[in-house]
Amino acid sequence: MIPGAFDYHAPASLEEALSLLSANVDDAKVLAGGQSLLPLMKLRLAKPEVIIDIGGLAELNYIREDGDHIAIGALATYTDLAESELILDRCPLLAQAAVVVGDVQVRNRGTVGGGLAHADPAEDLPAAVLALDAEIKAAGPDGERWIPASEFFITMLTTSLMPEELLTEIRVPARDGYKSSYQKASRQAAGFAIVGVATCLKESADGTCEDIAIGVTGVGDVAYRAEQVEAALRGRKLDDSAIAGAAALVTGGVDPIEDVNATPTYRAHLARVYVERTIQAARAE
Amino acid sequence: MKQTVRVTVNGRLYEEEVEPRQLLSYFLRETIGLTGTHIGCIIGECGACTVQVNGTLVKSCLMFAVQANGKEVTTIEGLAEGDALHPVQEAFINNYGFQCGYCTPGMIMAADSLLKKNPNPSEEEIREGLAGNLCMCTGYVQIVAAVKEAAGQVDNG
């Protein structure tokens, strides 16, 4: 359980981090909170020759209002997200997902940027980030670009970040007037999501669904938007039978994965149940 | 190539040459000899190695020692003041909050951190606050009782 040896760099600026990354692009891993990377290194599933520790870059550690968006620096921790008044007020779905990531210790060290870039298929936050139509900023040697969350997660442990790029910010539109809920099924406290569903909706006074967005994690090899469920509910009265009928569409077009925790059939069942639960919980907010 | 780290542990500054791959847990136990911090699973699941870094609860096996450079670490050895045990330590003794004792240092660090943030937690909040710390003897009932007793006695200033 000792990681392989590596050369360690702790750049003093984002610029320095980017040039180190470009210079070592085949051998380097970027270290932020380390809550995913260190276990992989100890199991020798990852053996980077160079570690670029961006953990000290204060310029990447913030949560702030940016017009009608909330801007979250890559180094904000899950605890920061869960406790931020701004997040709780303007897009609480992020806090609802962050507060059930791992345990206290992991939430204190684990970073939003690191978690998203790692793209574990059972990670909680991608469901919320997808449901909120977040954008992800990637900085590279040729400057910055914005990647919509819908184009960010490619497959298991794979994102659309280029090897020489760093994830620097997540930008989330404020969801004033929306209600939301994130819920996950896991085998034990602090467990990974077998299924996690993030739902964000807006309903009119008579209970008609004006808008709904549902992000699903843990089911397929990558988090996704349950677009068929959304389409079935948009403009409809949110009564129990409409919700149940729509929830059954959650795995449409998706192959649920099989692992030690759940069969594909059980995962699909859980996904349907959790879609219903999060819609009902959001409405009851 | 070795790196120099300067880490303050329990109020004392240490300057050491370490391999970058050295985990903070091994730095504490082997480099500076503070063996109160225990190593259990070493993959970040059991919480036995829990310490506080700049006042924040972390697992020291999920952190390289070089990441603690310039920071302040508090371990189980740093809680008592002289012969006077910390209120959480007293409460663990009063309630038999340990069986084999292996998880105890991490449990106490986690309980202290929880009570600094939330001086009077509910039972559910205590269990959630300690979710990252496993007791393989399953002595959770007494541990939760100890944290309840210590509630309100931890200086959160």
Q: Is residue B26 part of a domain?
A: yes
Name the residue facing B43 among A1, A102, A103 (closest C-beta). A1
Residue B156 lies in a domain: no
Cβ A46 vs Cβ A184: under 8 Å: no
Q: Cβ–Cβ of B20/A109 closer than 8 Å? A: no
Whether the pLDDT of residue B92 is over 90: the answer is yes
What residues of chain B lie within 8 A of the CB of A41, using their CB? 21
B102 touches chain A (CB under 8 A): no
Whether residue B60 sits in one domain with residue B96:
no
pLDDT digits (tens, 9 = 90+) for A133-177: 999 999 999 999 999 999 999 999 999 999 999 999 999 999 989
Query: Are residue B61 and residue B108 in the same domain, yes or no?
Result: no
Residue recorded with tokens 């298991």: A156
Render pLDDT for B4-57 as a digit per residue (tens, 0 to 9). 999 999 999 999 999 999 999 999 999 999 999 999 998 899 999 999 999 999
CB contacts < 8 A (A, B): 82
B63 and B112: one domain?
Answer: no
Burial of A266 (0-12, 13-18, 19+ CB in 10 A): middle
Q: What is the structure's pLDDT at A191?
A: 83
What are the tokens at A24?
A: 């070592």
Interface probe for A, chosen from B7, B52, B58, B130 (most Cβ of A below 10 Å), is B58
* Segment A237-258 mean pLDDT: 96
A159, A248, A250, B135, B144 from B46: Cα distances, Å: 30, 38, 35, 8, 17
ipTM of the complex model: 0.96
Contact (CB<8Å) A34/B64: yes
Does residue B156 surpass a pLDDT of 70? no
For the domain that residue B55 is a member of, what is the CATH number? 3.10.20.30
Region B72-85 average pLDDT: 96
* Two tokens, residue A285: 């907010």
Residue A189: is its pLDDT beyond 80?
no
Please state, in angstroms and as integers, the Cα–Cα distance from residue A81 to each residue in A17, A101, B88, following that order: 24, 11, 28
- At B118-146, the pLDDT tens digits run 999 999 999 999 999 999 999 999 999 99
Task: Pick the last residue of a domain from B77, B99, B127.
Answer: B77
pLDDT higher than 80, residue A45: yes
**Ranges A49-53, A80-84, A118-122, B111-115: which has the least confidence:** A118-122
Q: Are residues B54 and B103 in the same domain?
A: no
Which residues have C-beta within 8 Å of that of residue B134, sequence separation ≥ 6?
B40, B45, B46, B47, B48, B103
Cβ of A8 within 8 Å of Cβ of B20? The answer is yes
3-class DSSP state of A135? strand
Catalogue all structural domains in chain A, each as residue range(s) with its CATH number.
Answer: 7-53 (3.30.43.10), 58-173 (3.30.465.10), 179-283 (3.30.390.50)
Facing A34 at nearest CB: one of B47, B67, B129: B67
What whole-number distance in Å separates Cα of residue A137 and Cα of residue A139?
7
Last residue of a domain, which of B77, B106, B135? B77
Residues of chain A found within 8 Å of residue B123, distances taken between Cβ atoms = none
Query: Does B82 map to a domain?
Result: no
Task: Work out the number of other CB atoms within 10 angstroms of the CB of residue B139.
Answer: 20
* For residue B157, pLDDT beyond 60: no
C-alpha atoms less than 13 angstroms from C-alpha of A168 in its C-beta half-sphere: 20
Q: Which pLDDT score, from 0 to 100, does residue B87 have? A: 97
B78 close to B10: Cβ distance less than 8 angstroms: yes
- What pLDDT, on a 0 to 100 scale, did the predictor assign at position B155? 72
Which chain B residue is nearest to residue A102, measuring alpha carbons?
Answer: B132
DSSP-derived 3-state class of residue A225? strand
Looking at the DSSP assignment, which residues form a beta bridge with residue A9?
Answer: A52
- Judged by CB atoms closer than 8 Å, whether chains meet at A38 and B113 is answered as no
Q: Smallest Cβ distance to B67: which of A7, A42, A55? A: A55
Q: Is residue B22 part of a domain?
A: yes
CATH number at residue B117: 1.10.150.120
Domain range for residue B119? 87-150
Q: Which of A2, A39, A104 sits opposite B44 (nearest CB)?
A: A39
Task: Point out the residue among B21, B59, B127 whose CB comes nearest to the CB of A2.
Answer: B21
Does residue B70 sit in the same domain as residue B99?
no
Q: Answer whether residue A203 shows pLDDT above 70.
A: yes
In a domain, B155, yes or no: no
Question: Is B14 inside any structural domain?
Answer: yes
Share the mean pLDDT of chain A: 96
Spatial distance between the Cα atoms of A82 and A141, rounded to a whole number of angstroms: 32
Residues B111 and B46 in one domain: no
- Compute the average pLDDT of residues A85-96: 96
Element (H, E) at A130: helix A125-131
Number of independent structural domains in chain B: 2
End-to-end CA distance of chain B: 41
Give how far B144 is from chain A: nearest CA, Å: 16
Mean pLDDT within A261-278? 97
Reported as half-sphere exposure (CB side, CA atoms, 13 A), residue A121 has a value of 14
Domain C-terminal end among B28, B58, B77: B77
